[in-house]
Structures are given as C-alpha cells and as structure tokens.
Chain A
Amino acid sequence: MKHSKFDVVVIGAGHAGTEAAHAAARMGVETALVTLSGQDIGVMSCNPAIGGLGKGHLVREIDALDGVMGRVADQAGIQFRLLNRRKGPAVQGPRTQADRALYRAAMQKETKQQEHLSIVVGEVVDFLMDGSKVVGIKLADGSEIHAGAVILTSGTFLRGVIHIGDVSKPGGRMGDRPSVKLAERLDSFDLPLGRLKTGTPPRLDGRTIDWTDLERQDGDEDPTLFSFLSTSVVAPQISCGITHTNARTHEIIQKNLSQSAMYGGHIDGVGPRYCPSIEDKIVRFSDKESHQIFLEPEGVNDNTIYPNGISTSLPQDVQQDYVRSIKGLENAVILQPGYAIEYDYVDPRVLTSSLSLPEAPGLYLAGQINGTTGYEEAAAQGLVAGLNAALAVLGRDPLHFTRADSYIGVMIDDLTTRGVAEPYRMFTSRAEFRLSLRADNADQRLTPMGIDIGCVGDTRKIHFEGKMDKLETAKSKLTDRTFTPREMRSAGINVNQDGNRRDGMAILAFPDVSFENLLPLVPELEGIEADIRLQVERDALYANYIARQKKDVEAMKRDESYEIPRDFDYSTLEGLSSEVKQKLSTARPVNIAQAGRVEGVTPAALTLLLAKLRREQRVRKV
C-alpha cells in the first residue's frame, strides 16, 4: 500500500479543481491534483464557452491573481466577443467560444508545467480522519495521501443522476462514474444538502447542418482577451450560426411533455431560471412563437455543434423530431442526446468565507458542490479555496474577498450568507459596487493583493508594475493642472460655463470627452500609449459615482468590523423570533454586515444582536 504526503490535496480536476490546485501550488506548497483520469483535466463538460457578463469579470479577477483560466481561454478562444461593447466599461464582459480540444490541451500543459503541482490518477473513496479533522484521502486502490488541507471539487458527482426521457442512471456527467462512497462519507458530517438540476442540449454533427440560409454571428474584429498578459489571439477564429424554433418544434415538444424527465415527475431538483430547458421555455413562455438557438462549433477541428438554447430531458427520438423541425437542422444527426442531471449540493451557508467547513477542519469545498453553475464561478471558488488552503497550511491568516473589492467577494458573500435557491450564476447586477468592480481594472483591484500574499509570479508582477507606472504617469500629467471652462471650450470641449476649474481626470469624467480631446490642453499627453489612454478614460468615467459609493462602502466596512464569533449562540438572544434565530444560526454570519443581508433579518433583530455583541465584548475585556 502506497503512502504519500502533500500540503494540499485537491479532489477533482474540473474548473474548480484545476484552479484550486494551481492557486495552492503558486503559493509554493506541495499540491496534489487527484482525478479519475489525467484526460479529465480541463474538460468543458457543458457549453464550450468562457466568460460573459459577470462571468467574464470573474475570469479577469482569477487572472489578476495569476490564475490559469484566463490564459487557457485565450489559448483556446475561437470567437471572442466583448458583450455590451457599446455600453459603459463596468458592464462590458469578455466572452469567447472555446475549442474544447485546445482548451483541454492548454490546461493540461499548464498543469503539467506548474511547479509544486503533481497529478495523481485515482478514485477517492474516503477521507483520512483525525477526530473531526480531515487529514488526507484514501484511494480506491487502498493507497493513502496525507495532507494539511483537502479541497473537494466533486461537481455534480455527488449522487448525480442523469435523465434522458424516462431513462435515468447514476452518473456525474455522461460516461463518468458518480462518487457514491465519498458521498456516504460526507453524509457522516451531517451537512445540510439540497438537490439541483441542470441540463444540456443534444450535440449535433455540423456536417449534417445546412448552413446556407442561416444567420451568422462573427467574433469581434478587435478581440478582447481575458488575460492581462495575453497579447493576441492564438487559434483560428470561427463564426456561429443562429436559427430559431418554430410552431412545429413547439408542437412536438408540447405533445411529448409527459415524456420529459422534468415534466414526467422524475426530477425533484431545482433548475436555474435563467437557463431553462426548451420544455420549460415552451411551457412558461407559451405566447412566444419562436426561441433563438446559437449553433456553436465545439472546436476548429471538431464537427460537433453545441446548439445553445435547447437543453432538454426529452427521450432521444423526440429530441431528434424536434431538432429536425428547425430550419437548417432538417437532416441534422445527433451525436449525443441532451440530458438533464440532478445532483446534491452542500448548502454553502455552512462554509466560511475561505470556503472551509468548520465541521471538518482541513476540508474545503469549491465549485458546483456549493450550488453554483458555470465554469467561471467554479474556478473562482477553486482559487479562493486553493489560496486559503495554502495559507492555512502555512499557518497564515486567511485571505478575505469582500463585496467592495471583487465579484469573487460578492459571490462568496452571497453563497455563505444567503445560500442558493437555484444554481447560482454570476450577473453584474449582483454587484452593488459594479461601477468600480470592472473587468478592465481587475488587475488594479486584485494583483497587489496577490503580490502581497505571494500567488503572483514575477512575469505578471513586472508587467503589472510597469502598467501601473505608466498609468500613474498619465494620471499625474492629467491632474497637474486645472482648466477653466473657457480654456476647455477653446480646446473644443463643451462644458457648462460654470466657472469651475477642473483637472484632466475630472474633464474625462464627462461621458462625451475622450482622451484625445485633452491633447490640445495637455500636449505632454501625446506620448501616452493607446492602451494606457483607454484605461485612464475608463478609470475617469465613473469617478463621480465611485466617490458617491465610497460612503456606502465605508458604511459596509464599519458594519463588517462588528464581528460575530463563530460560536455565537443565537438562542440566548431574547426578543428574537425563533424563525430569525433559525435563519441566523443557519447562515452563521461573521459580522453585522453579513447578518443584515441574511434574508428575513429585521432592523430590530440586528439591534438586539449588536447590543448583545457589545455587551459580550465588554464582559470579555473585564
């Protein structure tokens, strides 16, 4: 029987697992990435795309901390589009179609190259325990790996069940075995579990699609990449097709609803409202005569087409019928039928903001197991768990992301204080400080933090510091002098003749003023590079709003500074309804700000809590 020892062991090599393993390894601790097969690393099991609104922001944040997802997506991107290009930079989200094979190859390469990171192939069947502490894992072959921290990223594998029509079978994703044994071990921790579901569309053979009359969607001419380090697109670029469902399609689906796993009563899990199955769309939006479908190639040298918009759990023959009722797909061959998958998730309110599980010290959970959906959400959690597991092993303080510094912070806070009711996906509207949490400034927000804790490599550090120097130079040239409205007008900038002097940054805050407009006023700006100009513009644009938000940020921070001990006993709070006591006990907020965000907590309840905390603090001091 083999025995080995690592600092951090990561179970699962999906998006959460790889990012977690890389993060821990970047921190310099010996890390093992345990997977059922080396070929699983970097697999995109669902939609072959990375990024989007909110999601693209997460990828940028991962990249700012020197994570892998952004770099790999840039390697594999075959159709880059900056969503909301015409809107303000705060709501622009980079997105790309990714070539599945290229993505997997790039991720495997990155993973093999990463220092302090070992890939271990095997099936994890159990944790090694020392009392309540998790101190390692046991593999199916009987070997044991001891570890200072274990990160579980088992995705949908926990009691995963796949449904195609009325046929259901256990499985994590098509072709994989579910981890039943591990699930039983987790049961012994007595964690609150819930059940969610998600679906996939049938995959089509692109060669059997008639593309001639289909609308095409191309990528951007000037692609916006994910990584702050990437400079250009690597893979050949493709376009997607667009088609629509029609009355005939809807009729077929309507007629066969009872055969759908979901509508036939085979599924109890809750699906996401924002990514409904085609059955759902037709039932819930019955007045809509047609639904859009994007035909997304899964790769440059891959004929598989992912028809985005028609995920389903209907039987295979019905899938074939309705697919062939759609324009361009009259003769389409289904390579793999669509299916719905149901799985267990752990109510993330039991987790700390490090994603560790206080019931089982040493164990961290990241990804879909925490009730989220999406590669980006998973990877961002992997990053948080990986960094914090490494910090814990090193005996250092945990790294805390906040709602004011990152989308990562928004997500962690949402998960750990509010929990999830449906698979959690990131949106820009979840971030109340959206104007300052932009994809373009993720590096400015987070890279210094990464340099500080030590997860950022030299290449990025040098690149970042160079960029910051240039930004500072440009900004100081802009703020050196102030200008009267008359001077501005003479330079062709129309502002109110209000007599107020403004510096260059303040002038740039006007929505219709560009960097170039300032050149007549500040000739020494001439030599500033284009990308720095653009960044200065973005930083200036929201300055007034960000200043206004500062008050809110400070208020939140003040509330965050009133900490609630983990073991705080809510049952001793007199005057609190038992419902609120229950909610607070479940969410276990770590401070007053979080407590205020727990659903159903009233101002009066917070007052009681705050007063009690102050009283206890005082008692402790005495």
Chain B
Amino acid sequence: MDTIFALASAQGKAGVAVIRLSGPLAHSAAADLTDGPLPARGMRVRSLYADDGSRLDDGLVLTFQAPASFTGEDVAELQIHGSTAAINAVMRCLSDTDGLRLAEPGEFTRRALENGKMDLTQVEGLADLIDAETEAQRKQAQTILAGELGGLAERWRRDLIRAASLLEAVIDFADEEVPTDVTPEVRNLITGVMQDLQREADGVKIAERIRTGFEVAIVGLPNAGKSTLLNALAGREAAITSEYAGTTRDVIEVRMDLSGLPVTLLDTAGLRETEDHVENLGIELARKRADAADLRVFLTENPKELSVPMVDGDIQLLPKSDLRDGAEGGVSGKTGQGIDQLISHISRELANRSTSHGIATRERHRVALNDASSALADAMTVLESGPDLYDIAAEELRTAIRALETLVGRIGVEDLLDEIFSSFCLGK
C-alpha cells in the first residue's frame, strides 16, 4: 500500500495549513522532515528541514497510530504556516521521498471506508452520501453530457470503436473475406479524434488558468518603458525603473486582479542584441517566459524588431505615448495615459478565452484526455508498421477508449469508487 499525502486544508493563504500523510511510511516520512523522532501517537513542535538541511518552516506535527486514525492507517499531520511558498516547499520534499505520492482526490476518505473507519453502515448516512454523490454526479453528468464534451466524447468513442473494430476484424477474421490492411481508415479516424482531444485539452489549460492565473508578459526593446508600465498597472513599485536601458535582467512578476481574473504580469528584460553576458541571460529568460505566457503586450512600433513572435490576441501599443503628443494606440506608464484602455483590453481578451474554456474543467477530465491522447499517439506510431503490429495498435486503442469511457462516466468499478469519493475535497 502506497503512502499518500495531500494538503488537507484549503488552498491559498491562511494562518495554518495542514498536510496529511497516511500509510505505512507516514510516520517515518514525517520524522525525516523534522529534527528528531516522533511518538507513535502524539503532538510535537518541530522544525521542518529540506534534504539539504535548509529549514523549511516550523510547525506542529501530529501522529496517529493505526488503526486509531482517520484512515485506519498510520497518519501524520504537519500543521505549518499557511504560506503558499512554505506549503509548496514541504509538498515538494514529500513528493521527492521514495514510496510517497500525492493522494488522488478523495483517497483518504476511500481508505477510511476500506479500512472500516468510516461509518457507512447507517442507512441514513449512507443514503445521504449516495444522494449527495448522485446529485453531484447528476449535475456533473448534465454539464458534461448536455454540453459539447459529452457529445464529443461519445463521438470520439464511436470513432475509436469503429477504428478498433476494423483492426479486430482483420485480426479475428484472418481466414475470411475481410480487408487485410485497414490502416488508412484507422489513421483517419484516430487523427480526427486526436485533433479534437488536443482542442479540448487546450481548453482545460484555460480552465486551469482561471484557477491559477493568466500570465501576461510585457515585451519590448530596452528602455521602452516596460517596467514603468508594469508599475503603473500594479500601482506600486514592483520593478526597478531607471532611464538606463537594460535595467531589468530578471523577470519581475506581479500578481494582480484584473476584472475578477487572476493575472500575473511579467516584466521582462528588453530584447536587444548585446555583448553583456549577464544581460544576455536575462534576455534569453525573457524570451522563454514571454513565449510561454498566455498573452503578450508588445511595447513597440514594429513587433518584428523583437525576437518574440506575436500571436493572435496579443496586444501591440506604442511605447511612451507621453512623448508622442496624443498619438492613437499608445500607452504611458509615466502619465497613466492609455492604462485604463490597456486594462480593459487585457481583461476583455482573457475573459473571452475564459468563456471558451470548454466543458472539460476537471483534473480528471484532463487526465482522461491526456491518457487517451498519448495512447492514440502511440497507436499512430505503431500503425506505421502496418497490419503486422495491429495487436499492439488495438491495445493502444483499447487504452484510449477506456480513458474516454472514464470521461463520460462509463467506468469500471475501481474508477467508480474514485469517482464517488472525488466529491470529497482532496485530503479531507
């Protein structure tokens, strides 16, 4: 049995955060993080250290011994300061520990049930649970099934079953009058589904952005006024500004709320050819971050002079409009001219994308889409070898179909249990 861990308290800043571990290694893993042994059952104030000996945080460590714990297994709880950085650092250490893994949604509850720790025996309680689950399932099923995704998933599944049946016919009726090479049709079917999957998976990325924030990068030549603009947008001195070109060598991040959407603004080093080694490193980093960002604001008269490509939806503005005497399409961090328009432009653009995030919103969906997608990619590779490897291609298709079946709720019992308990918050 794996030892699992997860953040048991809510995401985000709070006074205290609770990370829960359950399983045979729960106690030893917790002890490894701290500076001394832990009791089999009890509470200790401890400092937590990373592998390299650096201190992560101080906190309260609670240990529960099997079977007297929430899950019925050995359990440890780390109550630490609720800062995102501290939580992330501790979680990272735990995931680096052999034998530990992040819990699946509802897995603690599930273990509690399997170990007979949860009282499912009372009919009312049970009925409540089932009702809650059914209601949740109903809502989810309706959202999914009434929407695009349900229809799509059904169609994908149909296409893949069609593809699989072609392969299976060649395999199982080798002695009869069936075509011996169905590769072209199978490839067509798979390609179509893969394109759709890709589109949906992209949609999940946006849904995730709504949770974790969009990245907006400000790019331009050195001294185009990027940092000044960032400061104006953020309303505080986040980036060091000066009139010397090449001041920003790191990427400066400012998190802010733009019309309800979480946005991280990135101020990047000015993009120019330079002999300065350190500045070059900064520029390289700037390019990468700008490329990966969800949206780019180009502060330039000519985007082509920058080495970051402009893509659909990106914004181009004339820099330092204060020096341009009322020219259209400019912005100035210094005077605030055009800032409001820029903010509404960014939020409009991001809001647009948010509405097109599709129906695949859950991690479960993303996992299913990815599983299906990677199995299909493998199937395509194998199909290049033609009918001789149909046995393998069919296996990949089977994997993909099974992944999509979990998407629409036609699921195995094992998945079913996961599904039931995923209505409980992670780690609770």
Contact = CB atoms under 8 A, between A and B. Distances in A.
Interface of A: 52-54, 83-84, 86-88, 90-91, 93, 95, 274, 291-292, 427-429, 432, 434-435, 511, 545, 548, 555-556, 558-559, 574-575, 592-593, 595-596, 603-604, 606-608, 610-611, 614-615, 618-619
A116 B392 CA distance: 45
From A291, A292, A434, residue with most partner B Cβ within 10 Å: A434
B367 to A, nearest CB: 14
A87 B137 contact: no
Sorted nearest first, the 5 A-B pairs with minimum C-beta distance are A555-B414, A88-B391, A429-B168, A603-B416, A427-B172
B188 to A, nearest CB: 21
Contact of B177 (A84, A274, A291, A435): A291
B14 interface: no
B414 A88 contact: no
B174 A83 contact: yes
Contact of A54 (B130, B172, B399): B172
Contact of B413 (A52, A434, A606): A606
Given A607-B133, A614-B121, A91 B413 contact: no
A274 B178 CA distance: 12
A292 B420 CA distance: 52
B214 interface: no
Nearest to B402: A552
Contacts of B177: 291-292
A608 B134 CA distance: 11
A93 B391 CA distance: 13
A614 B175 contact: no
A611 B130 contact: yes
B174 A84 contact: yes
A577 B120 CA distance: 22
A249 B173 CA distance: 24
Interface in B382-428: 385, 387-392, 394-395, 398-399, 409, 411-414, 416-417, 419-420
B171 A603 contact: no
Contact of B398 (A428, A432, A556, A611): A432
B116 interface: yes
B419 A618 contact: no
A606 B414 CA distance: 11
A572 to B, nearest CB: 11
Nearest to A429: B168
A438 to B, nearest CB: 10
A274 B175 CA distance: 12
B243 interface: no
Contact of A545 (B126, B171, B392): B392
Nearest to A545: B395
A611 B120 contact: yes
A219 to B, nearest CB: 13
B382 to A, nearest CB: 9
Contacts of B391: 87-88, 90-91, 434-435
B161 to A, nearest CB: 11
Contacts of A548: 399
A611 B413 CA distance: 13
A86 B414 contact: no
Given A83-B175, A292-B177, A596 B392 contact: no
B325 interface: no
Contact of A607 (B175, B390, B420): B420
Nearest to A88: B391
From A53, A87, A603, A615, residue with most partner B Cβ within 10 Å: A603
B176 interface: yes
A121 B412 CA distance: 49
Nearest to A432: B398
A497 to B, nearest CB: 19
From A91, A95, A555, A559, residue with most partner B Cβ within 10 Å: A91
B126 A87 contact: no
Contacts of A511: 385, 389, 392
A456 B11 CA distance: 61
B405 to A, nearest CB: 11
DSSP class of B's interface residues: helix, strand, loop or mixed?
helix
From B123, B137, B385, B416, residue with most partner A Cβ within 10 Å: B416
A592 B413 contact: yes
A314 B411 CA distance: 46
| B contact residues, range | 35 or more
Interface in B160-193: 168, 171-177
A575 B172 contact: no
A445 to B, nearest CB: 18
A608 B130 contact: yes
B120 A614 contact: yes
Contacts of B137: 603-604
Contacts of B420: 607
Given A53-B173, A292-B177, 8 more contacts: A52-B175, A432-B398, A555-B414, A559-B413, A603-B413, A606-B416, A607-B420, A610-B417
Contacts of A95: 175
B121 A618 contact: yes
Contacts of A595: 413
A379 B239 CA distance: 81
Given A53-B171, A429-B172, A604-B137, A87 B388 contact: yes
28 contacts: A52-B175, A54-B172, A83-B174, A84-B171, A84-B174, A86-B387, A86-B388, A87-B171, A87-B174, A87-B389, A88-B390, A91-B171, A91-B172, A429-B168, A434-B395, A435-B395, A511-B389, A555-B413, A559-B412, A574-B127, A603-B137, A603-B411, A606-B413, A607-B416, A607-B420, A608-B130, A614-B120, A615-B126
Nearest to A612: B126
Given A435-B395, A596-B413, A604-B137, A292 B120 contact: no
A539 to B, nearest CB: 15
A615 B416 contact: no
From A95, A548, A606, A607, residue with most partner B Cβ within 10 Å: A607
Contacts of B388: 86-88
Contacts of B411: 603
B409 A603 contact: yes
Contact of B390 (A53, A87, A596): A87
Nearest to A435: B395
Contacts of B176: 292
A84 B414 CA distance: 34
Contacts of B417: 610
Contacts of A88: 388-392
A298 to B, nearest CB: 18
Contact of B171 (A429, A596, A614): A429
Nearest to B137: A604
A614 B392 CA distance: 39
A615 B121 contact: yes
B217 to A, nearest CB: 34
A555 B406 CA distance: 14
Nearest to A593: B413
Interface string B115-136: 0100011010011011001100
Contacts of A611: 120, 126, 129-130
B333 to A, nearest CB: 48
Interface string B365-392: 0000000000000000000010111111
